[in-house]
Amino acid sequence: MKSKVAQRILEEIPEETKIFARLYADIVVRVNMLLKEKGFTQKDLADKLEKRPSEINKWLIGEHNFTLRSLAKLEAELGDAIINIPNRKPVSSMIGDKTYITVYKNAHVTTTDVTYTSEWKKSKTKSKIPLANVS
């Protein structure tokens, strides 16, 4: 059982800080998992990224704020996704008596519940307002 003081401290932590800590831990676990799968050491990764081993160590113990660029480099060198963004659910909208659906596909996730097509249909618009004046 947590003490009342510990419980109060935890309740005062901003939600964004809790989310950051969870995401950072997830990233570090994923990178370590990929290192193990590939048989790489932190030094091997440092050599591939042209970094000092001490810098990679800082990344993996929580003393580095990952940028999208550093995550992309890690992903490229480790050959697998580090962060997976979930598929978006189809969003539909009604215009007149027609329904239009927008589907977002995540390249890292395979799904069987949605069929994707490269076939496009030109939508008909009732508006005759020009989008731009070209002279």
Show the DSSP H helices in 14-125 as ranges. 15-38, 42-49, 53-61, 68-78
What's the CA gap between 132 and 96, in Å, rounded? 24
Calculate the dihedral angle through the C-alpha atoms of 73, 76, 58, 43, rounding to the nearest 10 degrees: -120
Q: Which residues pair with 95 in a beta bridge?
A: 98
Confidence of residue 116 (pLDDT cuts 50, 70, 90): low
What average pLDDT score do residues 94-122 get?
Answer: 62
Say whether pLDDT at 78 is over 90: yes
Q: What is the mean pLDDT of residues 67-84?
A: 91
pLDDT tens column, 17-46: 888 889 999 999 999 999 999 999 999 999
